[in-house]
């Protein structure tokens, strides 16, 4: 539920950024379509990983490994959610439906199978994970250009420190299922350094709109300063992970990253309507 709502929040934020006139019926359709698409991805994921889920403390009580729902019923549910999601997004415009469908395909057909094969799965998974923010802009404009591309890159780079932080404090549990989530496969300095580097890239992309290079996506000086300062908070916790190398530090970075992406999206929207 939390993941689904965060995706809906990102999509709606992107819509407000792209819309000249806010159409609340479109907002409702975007929220429903996005929610169903994330639900479909999650169900397909849990079908594919049902045997792995049974091995991990974090996931052993999920409906399929716990026996509360059959694989057949879950598959039917996933198909229904997919059709509903794509249909609703298509009613907004075809491009929105296309990106929604790409998100489901990459998540279930590439990211999920790669999780037991290579740490590069995080890179692949970051692609569908970065789509929601830009999806809202495409829903508002029926166009893909530098503006949604910038929103995509912001959320793309953000996911690396976010998921590596999760992979760090859940490393032992992931190892039970053979998941390779950390870039080096270990909780070491090299992983922490990469979390810092991708946090820096995230901050850089987040303030680029103030320079006027990103079309209709703009930030005022005040908005850029706020965005930069929020980014520094996340960077602080990434550095703390490098210094302390503890599960607690990883949890703090994960929470800081969630706070960061939420605040950034709010600041972007408020900056547009207040300027």
Torsion of the alpha carbons at 144, 147, 152 and 158, rounded to the nearest 10? 180
Q: Which residue has the tokens 């006027």?
A: 212
pLDDT, the chain, mean: 91
Chain centre distance of CA 157: 10
Expressed in angstroms, the distance from the first to the final Cα of the chain is 34
Domain boundaries, the chain: 1-143, 145-275
8 Å CB contact between 128 and 104: yes
Return d(Cα 112, Cα 122) in angstroms, integer: 10
Q: What is the CA radius of gyration of the chain?
A: 19
Q: Which residue has the tokens 């998540």?
A: 107
1-143: CATH number? 1.10.357.140
Q: From CA 84, how far away is CA 89, in angstroms rounded? A: 9
pLDDT at 180: 81
pLDDT above 90: residue 6: no
Give the distance from CA 120 to its chain's centroid.
16
Q: How far apart are CA 76 and CA 122, in angstroms?
A: 28
Residues 124, 144: Cα–Cα separation, whole Å: 21
pLDDT category of residue 241 using cuts at 50, 70 and 90: very high
Instruction: Determine the average pLDDT of the residues in 173-197.
Output: 88
The pTM for the full model equals 0.91
CA 90 to chain centre: 21
pLDDT digit string (tens) for 146-164?
A: 999 999 999 999 999 999 9
Cβ burial of 51 (10 Å; 0-12, 13-18, 19+) is exposed
Q: Which residue has the tokens 């990103």?
A: 214
**Separation of alpha carbons 194 and 119, rounded Å:** 13
Mean per-residue pLDDT, 244-269: 94
């Amino acid at each position: 539920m939390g993941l689904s709502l965060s995706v809906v929040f990102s999509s709606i934020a992107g819509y407000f950024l792209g819309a000249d006139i806010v159409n609340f019926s479109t907002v409702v359709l975007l929220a429903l379509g996005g929610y169903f698409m994330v639900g479909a991805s999650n169900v397909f994921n849990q079908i594919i990983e049902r045997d792995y889920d049974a091995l991990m403390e974090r996931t052993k009580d999920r409906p399929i490994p716990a026996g509360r729902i059959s694989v057949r019923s879950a598959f039917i549910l996933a198909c229904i959610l997919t059709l509903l999601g794509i249909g609703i997004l298509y009613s907004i415009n075809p491009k929105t439906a296309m990106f929604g469908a790409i998100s489901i395909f990459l998540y279930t057909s590439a990211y999920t199978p790669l999780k037991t094969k290579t740490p590069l799965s995080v890179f692949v998974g970051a692609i569908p994970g970065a789509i929601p923010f830009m999806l809202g802009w495409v829903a508002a404009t029926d166009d893909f250009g530098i503006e949604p591309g910038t929103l995509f890159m912001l959320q793309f780079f953000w996911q690396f420190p976010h998921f590596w932080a999760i992979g760090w404090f859940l490393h032992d549990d992931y190892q039970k299922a053979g998941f390779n989530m950390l870039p080096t496969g270990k909780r070491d300095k090299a992983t922490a350094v990469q979390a810092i580097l991708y946090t820096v890239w995230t901050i850089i992309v987040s303030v680029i709109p103030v320079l006027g290079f990103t079309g209709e996506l703009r930030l005022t000086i005040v908005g850029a300063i706020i965005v930069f300062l929020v980014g520094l908070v996340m960077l602080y916790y990434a550095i703390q992970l490098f210094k302390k190398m503890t599960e607690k530090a990883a949890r703090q970075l994960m929470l800081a990253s969630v706070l960061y992406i939420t605040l950034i999206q709010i600041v972007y929207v408020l900056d547009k309507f207040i300027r």
